[in-house]
């Protein structure tokens, strides 16, 4: 039996139900309690907050965990302009006695005390805290502040910087993973407002489509779904022009066609995929440290198009 795609997309656009929202809130509160109650951490400047799809309201009913960030405000990693306009010496930066690895170790100890050693697994980039009946699984990532200096000065004469967060993977301590959660959050809201709430609904649609392809798709669709992460889908949709949204009242089929069409043209060979940005607007989506490529995105978008629109000609 052929699928009613009009109704399917309407279902996929919806966010999680109230029960999952409450379980997500319980996970957040339990992790905050663990960090704030740890003797080695209680006097440090630490922010604990939800990040990822739960904070950005792009989570779906298929999402099984909540992403949490534990950020030490007292020390930071730095990024300077290549031209040498700003240097460590100019800012008087000193190496801290308390390292990122030490902070991560103290957070790990706090989580194990709170949830039990068997319920906390240390991963390469985050700790997995196993769910209970009252709370969702949580991925807890540990960060320091990150400051990207622009080489310009503010009106007060201070060196200007953009602030994000940074972590170092366990298996590659020289690798820098830099995120911009505040900028991502704010720009996501702005895009959602500009598209009459359609941006985040379209993100949910593509995330559910990816999950559908991974489970029920053919071999090509399953392979393509495995090449892109949900974060990449959110960034792709954010790059689509506002004119791709609100093309029909009460449905999403035309919006989906317009968004996929624009993204297929952008990521195709000799397209403009290298110009696409993360939602934050501060990092290229492709060809950076994360090793994502336009080719991976194009493979997903092409098979996604065929899953919904069948033999209809691909946009060129």
- Same-domain pairing of 205 and 97: no
- Same-domain pairing of 246 and 138: no
Q: Does residue 9 belong to any structural domain of this protein?
A: no
Residue 41: give its domain's CATH number: 3.30.460.10
- Residue where the block lists tokens 């050693």: 117
Tally Cβ neighbours within 10 Å of residue 247.
16
Residues 6+ apart with CB under 8 A from 193: none
25-55 as b/e, with b when 16 or more CB fall inside 10 Å?
A: bbbbebbbebbeebeebeeeebebbbbbbbb
Q: Does residue 269 belong to any structural domain of this protein?
A: yes
From first to last of its 316 residues, what are the pLDDT tens digits of the chain?
478 999 999 999 998 766 667 777 888 888 999 999 999 998 999 999 999 998 999 988 766 688 999 999 999 999 998 888 888 888 888 899 999 999 999 999 999 999 999 999 999 999 999 877 667 788 999 999 999 999 999 999 999 999 999 999 999 999 999 999 999 999 999 999 999 999 999 999 999 999 999 999 999 999 999 999 999 999 999 999 999 999 999 999 999 999 999 999 999 999 999 999 999 999 999 977 778 999 999 999 999 999 999 989 988 8
Domain count, the chain: 2
Q: Shortest CA distance to 235 belongs to which of 202, 194, 196?
A: 202
- Same-domain pairing of 175 and 28: yes
Q: Does residue 48 belong to any structural domain of this protein?
A: yes
Tally Cβ neighbours within 10 Å of residue 284.
15
CB 60 within 8 A of CB 207: yes
- Could you tell me the pTM of the whole model? 0.93
d(CA 258, CA 206): 13
- Same-domain pairing of 167 and 188: no
User: Residue 204 is part of which domain span?
Assistant: 184-309
- Same-domain pairing of 166 and 223: no
Tally Cβ neighbours within 10 Å of residue 165.
24
Q: Does residue 255 belong to any structural domain of this protein?
A: yes
């Amino acid at each position: 039996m052929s699928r009613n795609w009009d109704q399917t997309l309407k279902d996929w656009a919806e966010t999680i139900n109230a029960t999952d929202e409450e379980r997500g809130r319980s996970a957040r509160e339990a992790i905050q309690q663990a960090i704030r109650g740890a003797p080695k951490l209680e006097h440090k400047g630490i922010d604990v907050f939800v990040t990822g799809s739960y904070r950005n309201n792009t989570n779906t009913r298929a999402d099984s965990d909540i992403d949490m960030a534990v950020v030490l405000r007292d020390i930071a990693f730095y990024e300077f302009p290549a031209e040498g306009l700003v240097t460590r010496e100019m800012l008087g930066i000193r190496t801290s006695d308390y390292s990122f690895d030490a902070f991560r170790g103290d957070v790990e100890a706090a989580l194990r005390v709170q949830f039990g050693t068997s319920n906390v697994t240390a991963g390469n980039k985050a700790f997995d805290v196993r769910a209970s009946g009252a709370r969702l699984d949580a991925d807890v990532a540990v960060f320091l502040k990150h400051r990207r200096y622009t080489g310009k000065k503010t009106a007060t004469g201070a060196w200007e910087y953009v602030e994000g967060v940074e972590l170092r993977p366990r298996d590659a301590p020289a690798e820098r993973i830099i995120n911009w959660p505040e900028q991502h959050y704010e720009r996501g809201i702005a895009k959602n407002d500009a598209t009459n709430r359609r941006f985040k609904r379209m993100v949910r649609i593509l995330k559910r489509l990816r999950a559908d392809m991974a489970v029920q798709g053919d071999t090509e669709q399953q392979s393509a779904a495995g090449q892109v992460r949900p974060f990449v889908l959110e960034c792709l949709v954010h790059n689509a022009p506002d004119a791709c949204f609100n093309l029909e009242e009460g449905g999403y089929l035309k919006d989906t066609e317009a968004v996929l069409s624009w993204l297929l043209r952008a990521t195709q060979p000799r397209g403009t995929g290298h110009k696409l940005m993360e939602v934050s607007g501060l990092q290229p989506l492709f060809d950076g440290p994360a090793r994502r490529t336009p080719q991976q995105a194009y493979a997903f978008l092409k098979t996604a198009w065929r899953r919904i629109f069948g033999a209809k000609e691909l946009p060129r």
